[in-house]
Amino acid sequence: MNSKIQCPFCGLAPERIQAENEVAVWIYDGFPISPGHSLIVPKKHVRSFFEITESEQLALMSLLSIARTSIDRSHKPDGYNIGINDGAAAGQTVPHLHLHLIPRFSGDRADPRGGVRWIIPEKADYWTGI
């Protein structure tokens, strides 16, 4: 990583942290796409989900569950998208692993079928031709 570029997830302000465990923190996304859009971010600087141990992966998932429970109470979404952009080709813009927990609400998209498949729109709608 270029030392002149500060990682936005290393050294987070304490007031941004909603909850934490030994491995990660839960914060609200700085540029949310829906109410409650959250990030689960490892405390150590690592780029990829595949660079952390299985126990670290489990700790991230545990915090994801805590975030979901809180968002359920405060925003009452109808569903969620959970995603990781792992690598530049996958759209990762911050080179520090983070999981997106995106609350979804009925009617926020005319036809939400396919969910994360819409990252490649021409391949998202597989059901029309069935």
- Residue 100 appears among annotated catalytic residues: no
Query: Which residues have a Cβ under 8 Å from the Cβ of 66 and sit 6 or more positions away?
Result: 19, 26
Backbone angles phi, psi at 20, to 5 degrees: -155, 160
Beta pairing class for 99-104 and 38-42: antiparallel
Catalytic, out of 37, 45, 96, 98: 98
- Residues forming the active site: 98
